[in-house]
Amino acid sequence: MKNELRHGRLKFISFLIIDLLCVVLANVLAVRLYLGISSVKYSMEEHLPVIYLMLCVDIIVTAAFNTLREVLRRRKRIEILETFKHVVISFVLLAMVLFTTKSGADYSRVIVFLAYALEFFLMLGCRYIWKKILMRAYWKNNSDSALLMTTDSFATEALSDLRKTGVEVKSIFLLDSKGQKSIEDVPVSGSIEDAIAVLGWDLAKKVYIYGLDHQMIPDALAAACKEMKVKIDLVDFKYKIIDVKTVKNDDSRYGSLSFIEGKRDIPFPIRRVYWITETEADLHRGHHAHKLNCQLLFCPHGKIDIILDDGEKKETVTLDEPGKGLLLMPGLWREMIWQESGSVLCVLASEYYDPDEYIRNYDGFIAYNNEDGRKKDN
């Protein structure tokens, strides 16, 4: 999509043609209007050289000042400023030409002023309509349309979840894309500007942030949503089992290699890594919850049960292979039970170590969860 929006030469030419048509139309209207209300003797034929000059000036300004730069990605406010800039520069350039050739007196100044004023509004309107037409060719519009922001590893699941609820995802913005153009036929926004453009042109009415910690919402996206009054919905989960990518060698002597990639697999910033080793079977650890810390737990060697308790029900996840990871969001009481001696527990965490961020008392945990629930309900 990035390339389509940025480098579509044909689209650039189409905007230039639209601008030139606006110049002609603005002049025709200005001459008609002025002659309609005044008794000055002036004709369209006399005004024709100005129109030709304005067309040349328009092409020169577009090329020299690159005034159509990223035209499809510009939001409404930027477009107004850019169109205004284009018209003012064109006006100044035309005035300089008329002044240096001493031909200004041959033409009606009022009509030239009026033509530029009309050109501004016509250009703005026509560019807006043309943009809408082009953008809709990428994304057919729908009232329950959304921009989805997530990680690469959650994208397919997030799409299917949203589709089940009738949401049409217009574009996906990945925390860190691998250069994908689309995922399941939904275009991937190559940059934050592309993602915001989808909102700016009313193609997506809502933003779904799927499974990401709030720290991962880019400031620019949050600010754009605030400005455009677009609602951000955080679709979160308490925990999720994820596949840790694992490469196995045909020759078993080479073992296997597992890897986790920052923003692609992990929905939070990694600030700390720790691991627990030299353990005996039936070791019990944990008995706490976190207020802020998001984590990914995995067991590259051995077998460990993780008992998760949200205050209402308990569930057990067994980590027993290097390709299995457990994503834990804050607000879950946990206990880890080592099933085999020597099992290794590794943790990627979103926060630096801070003992105050732990809840180590179960009653305190229930009280904290209720208080947190009340805060969310309000």
Kindly state the smallest distance separating residue 307's Cβ from ligand T46, in Å. Answer: 12
331-to-89, 166, 192, 309 alpha-carbon distances in Å: 58, 30, 30, 9
- Number of helices (H), then strands (E), in the chain: 10, 18
Kindly state the smallest distance separating residue 335's Cβ from ligand T46, in Å. Answer: 9
Looking at residues 26 to 65 of the shown chain, list those that interact with ligand T46 (rule: CB under 6 A): none
Exposure b/e, 114-133, CB count within 10 A at least 16 = b:
bbbebbbebbbebbeebbee
Nearest residue (CB) to ligand T46, 108 versus 295: 295
For the record, the structure tokens of 345 come out as 């527990």
Nearest residue (CB) to ligand T46, 197 versus 344: 344
Kindly state the smallest distance separating residue 360's Cβ from ligand T46, in Å. Answer: 8
Kindly state the smallest distance separating residue 267's Cβ from ligand T46, in Å. Answer: 17
Helical pair 44-65 and 76-100, crossing angle rounded to 10 deg:
120
Nearest residue (CB) to ligand T46, 197 versus 294: 294
Closest CA to 286 of 306, 315, 301, 271: 306
Kindly state the smallest distance separating residue 277's Cβ from ligand T46, in Å. Answer: 12
Kindly state the smallest distance separating residue 369's Cβ from ligand T46, in Å. Answer: 17
Q: In sequence order, which residues have a C-beta less than 8 Å from that of residue 122 and are 6 or more positions away?
A: 22, 25, 26
The whole-angstrom separation of Cα 85 and Cα 210 is 39
Looking at residues 312 to 341 of the shown chain, list those that interact with ligand T46 (rule: CB under 6 A): 336
For the record, the structure tokens of 164 come out as 């089940």
Adjacent-strand bridge partners of 253: none
Nearest residue (CB) to ligand T46, 80 versus 307: 307
287-to-29, 139, 241, 292, 336 alpha-carbon distances in Å: 78, 49, 20, 16, 8
Kindly state the smallest distance separating residue 334's Cβ from ligand T46, in Å. Answer: 6
Looking at residues 235 to 294 of the shown chain, list those that interact with ligand T46 (rule: CB under 6 A): 272, 274, 276, 285-286
Number of residues that bind ligand T46 (CB under 6 A): 11
The whole-angstrom separation of Cα 26 and Cα 62 is 18
Residue the block writes with tokens 């990223």: 70
For the record, the structure tokens of 161 come out as 């979840």
Nearest residue (CB) to ligand T46, 112 versus 336: 336
Kindly state the smallest distance separating residue 211's Cβ from ligand T46, in Å. Answer: 19
Looking at residues 121 to 140 of the shown chain, list those that interact with ligand T46 (rule: CB under 6 A): none
Q: In sequence order, which residues have a C-beta less than 8 Å from that of residue 1 and are 6 or more positions away?
A: 138, 171, 181, 182, 187, 188, 189, 190, 194
Angle at 329 between CA 327 and CA 335, to 5 degrees: 75
Nearest residue (CB) to ligand T46, 115 versus 359: 359
347 binds ligand T46 (CB under 6 A): yes
Nearest residue (CB) to ligand T46, 167 versus 348: 348
Nearest residue (CB) to ligand T46, 224 versus 289: 289
The residue annotated as part of the active site, out of 214, 284, 288, 301, is 288
99 binds ligand T46 (CB under 6 A): no
**For the residues of 39-66, what is the DSSP string, one character each?**
-----HHHHHHHHHHHHHHHHHHHHHHT
Pick from 85, 353, 370, 373 the residue near ligand T46 by CB under 6 A: 353
* DSSP assigned state of 188: B
Is residue 284 among the annotated active site residues? no
Active site residues: 288
Which residues of the chain form contacts with ligand T46 (CB under 6 A)? 272, 274, 276, 285-286, 295, 297, 336, 345, 347, 353
